[in-house]
Chain A
Amino acid sequence: MNWFCHSLWALALLAPLFPLPLGAADQSTAQSLCSELGRIFDQHRRSVVRVYATDELGVRVGSGFFIDPSGLIYTHAGTVMSADDVKVSFAGRMTPAQVVTIDERNGVAILKVDCASPFIPIGDSDQITNATPVILIGFPEDYEVSSHLGMIAARERQHLGKYFATSHFRANMAVQRGEGGAPVLNLAGEVIGILMARIGDGTACHILPIRAAEKTRLDISRFGELRPGWVGGEVEDAAAAHAGSTAQILTLGPGTPAAQGGLKAGDVIISIDGIPVTRSEDVLDAAYFLTAGDLVEVIIQRDGETRSISVKPTTRPVLPVETMALGN
């Protein structure tokens, strides 16, 4: 009898330490998640706009979103490219919009409307890892503003053998036409990317990290124009790694900033402007953020010795950009 009483006391004391039954806990978590998703959607749905652009071929319709209170909008370049007239549907009315810039490298366009606006705060897309849940808010076809819940699957640099200008998130999330340019948010309600393309029939998608879009905005605010930087080097993967990197300079164009700065063929690149490089593909992201005229530090390994070389990029020459598919 004594041991029975002691056991009851022990159970009573230990009970708070045990979690709730599994089913109840799951239900609570699900309710909390639903509530949070609903809150984010309600908070930011008014910051998402539908973009109409007309040209001689017809009307292109996409999504966009405000990024500051003065009416600045990010949208998909494919919506407004070559358009004669651009308008956004905002607060129940059509408002004329001015195209500030179109960046063909990343597929982002910046619009401006002359009115005060709600906006979605910019998040840190570098913190997004695989299996992060994300929310997309956009205008699918002719439906009202809608939300989608998805999950980041990976960061990708290429699709079907074609390289992007910079890494994109690949997300498992159903998307529809008309949502190109829609914001993708984290669970803190911050925008971490812009919907750029669907994959296959639209059950997955490619999302441009917001940091890559901010490069466009930064160029415009600093110089009034886009200034993608270029140093003029070609890299390939070496057979063996040096200091953790296989990205070896293959060729340097004569008179290019790389050659003038002192880089040589055979140098192994360790980092560019603080962005680590471990293989040749990594230079894609590092090069994307270069700005013409801004000195950049390139860490290399040459003859077993690590060196730092300063290079001043020039404006990137026009490269053959893939024709952007407009809506199809």
Chain B
Amino acid sequence: MEHNESISKLLRLKRYEQPRPDYFEDFLAEFQLRQRAEVIHRPFWNIAWDRFSSFFAPLPSPRLFAAATFAATVIATGLTLNWSRQEAVTPPATWNLSTAAQMKLGSDQRAFTTSKKRVSSVHYVLPPRPTGYASAHSF
């Protein structure tokens, strides 16, 4: 009984415990000011990650799905870049001839593109002198 009395007393006291009226007048402006300050001081990747994560919000484990998607994207990008670099090593001067489109290269083209070592050089043949023997006057 005594306990209930003290709670009622506390509630009566709290009812009169309110901020000044001007606090409510500036509340919205102050809130927006702090919100902007937070946005400005947060790193970009943090904001991007939040937005990215919020995309998966409807799913049961949004952070897990976001992390998995991010990892898959990174791996795919790495593979694409690596493949592009191999393409650049392929000798376009030879194999992009007008005949290239007509050539049914099939496995041959794969052979030229899968190994950097194989495609690293193209020699157009025309040596500086014919073959010959060191000894001239023997028969």
* A255 nearest CB across to chain B (Å): 16
In this assembly, does A284 line the interface, its C-beta being within 8 Å of a C-beta of chain B?
Answer: yes
Q: Mark B88-105, 1 if CB is under 8 A from A, else 0.
A: 000101100111001111
Stretch from B17-25, B38-46, B67-75, B123-131 at the A interface: B123-131
- In the bound complex, how far is the Cα of B129 from the Cα of A38, in angstroms? 30
Q: Does A195 contact B (CB under 8 A)?
A: yes
Within 8 A of B (CB), among A186-240: 195-199, 202, 206, 208, 230-236
Query: How many residues on A have C-beta within 8 angstroms of the other chain's C-beta atoms?
Result: 77
Beyond A234-B137, A286-B139, whether A93 also contacts B102 by CB under 8 A is yes
Known A-B contacts A107-B131, A162-B132, A163-B133; the reply to A58 vs B139 at CB < 8 A is no
Q: Which residues of A contact B121 (CB under 8 A)?
A: 57-59
- Identify which of B123, B130, B135, B137 contacts A326 (C-beta below 8 A): B123
Q: How many residues from B make CB contacts under 8 Å with A?
A: 36
What 0/1 pattern do residues 308 to 326 of A give for CB contact below 8 A with B?
0000000000011110111
Determine the distance from Cα of A290 to Cα of B129 in the docked complex, in whole angstroms: 24
Query: What is the bound-complex CA distance between A199 and B127, given in angstroms?
Result: 9
Given A60-B123, A141-B93, A325–B128 Cβ distance below 8 Å? yes
Contact B127 A104, beta carbon cutoff 8 Å: no
Are A104 and B131 in contact, CB atoms less than 8 angstroms apart?
yes
Q: Which residues 135-171 of A have a CB within 8 angstroms of B?
A: 140-142, 144, 157-160, 162-165, 168
Query: Could you list which residues of chain B lie within 8 angstroms of chain A, going by C-beta atoms?
Result: 91, 93-94, 97-99, 102-105, 108, 111-112, 117-139
Chain A interface residues (CB < 8 Å from chain B): 50, 52, 54, 56-62, 76-79, 85, 87, 89, 92-94, 104-107, 140-142, 144, 157-160, 162-165, 168, 175-181, 195-199, 202, 206, 208, 230-236, 250, 272, 280-281, 283-284, 286-287, 290, 319-322, 324-328
Apart from A85-B108, A107-B131, 14 more pairs, CB < 8 Å: A54-B111, A58-B122, A59-B94, A61-B125, A76-B126, A93-B103, A104-B131, A105-B131, A162-B132, A196-B127, A231-B139, A234-B137, A281-B137, A321-B131
